[in-house]
Amino acid sequence: MALRKLVAGNWKMNGSLAALAELDAIAAAASDNLDIAICPPATLIAAAAARQPTLPIGAQDCHWNASGAHTGCLSVNMLREAGAQLVIVGHSERRTDNHETDAEVKAKATAAIAGGLIAIVCVGETEAQRDAGQAVAVVTSQLRGSVPEAGTGESLVIAYEPVWAIGTGRTPTIADVADMHAAIRKCLSELLGNEGAKVRILYGGSVKPSNAAELLHIPDVDGALVGGASLKATDFVPIIDAAK
């Protein structure tokens, strides 16, 4: 089943009020047959949503609690009030830098969905795990631990991001991406029943204008999560166009 593609940009800890000018050309690349989103730093969500009200804006993390003694954290309602419609959870940089566990990622995704945000749950193996032949086992284990039972085709997106491909310019082979996305689809069907076939599975890791078309046309690749190449409209718009 061909799902409507989603091309989402993850600005990570990059960007400024001045950088929001990039959103004008990105919003202008919108098309009826796909979804686009940009996830800027949380401090820019409100300004981004105000600048381009038709462009879905997302956050890069959330807390699972609605409020409380969690200094520096942001709840789903706070993000929604700022203008976010989506949130990335379990990015490998957070799993590494902040020691986030599958259970925490699941709690965040569950809270996001309950609060009306689309949750983009990230999974992916390290290079050592791939070299040891464990890539599929690692990713399916992350899915079993992080996918919320409440996930549906509308509320949940999975991003397969091999850790060794993020920001390195390296990508897996087309066959390896196809095998992994097929394994993820099978696992989602086991976890979510019929709904598993409707959940979009994005590929992420060094997507750029020169490789977007071939990556985006692999079966079960329902879009892309793009880091570095989402910062400039001149890079990101050709990736959006490749998904059309």
**Interface positions with ligand PEP (CB under 6 A):** 10, 161, 166-167, 204-207, 225-229
The beta-carbon contacts of 167-170 under 8 Å, at least 24 apart in sequence, are 167/206, 167/227, 167/228, 168/205, 168/206, 169/206, 170/205, 170/206
Choice between 143 and 192, CB closer to ligand PEP = 143
Choice between 124 and 153, CB closer to ligand PEP = 124
Tell the smallest beta-carbon distance from residue 35 to ligand PEP (Å): 17
For residues 174 and 177, what is the distance between their CA atoms, to the nearest angstrom?
5
Choice between 60 and 192, CB closer to ligand PEP = 60
Tell the smallest beta-carbon distance from residue 11 to ligand PEP (Å): 10
Chain residue at closest Cβ approach to ligand PEP: 227
Strands 156-160 and 5-10, by their bridges, are unpaired
Tell the smallest beta-carbon distance from residue 150 to ligand PEP (Å): 24
The CA-atom distances, in angstroms, between 214 and each of 71, 127, 134, 224, 226 are 43, 22, 25, 12, 15
- Residue 118 has which token pair? 């689309």
Catalytic residues: 91, 161
The CA-atom distances, in angstroms, between 33 and each of 204, 224, 233 are 20, 15, 19
Choice between 192 and 226, CB closer to ligand PEP = 226
Contact 12, 60 (CB under 8 A): yes
Angle 209-216/233-243 helices, nearest 10 degrees? 20
Tell the smallest beta-carbon distance from residue 79 to ligand PEP (Å): 18
Choice between 64 and 160, CB closer to ligand PEP = 160
Tell the smallest beta-carbon distance from residue 193 to ligand PEP (Å): 28
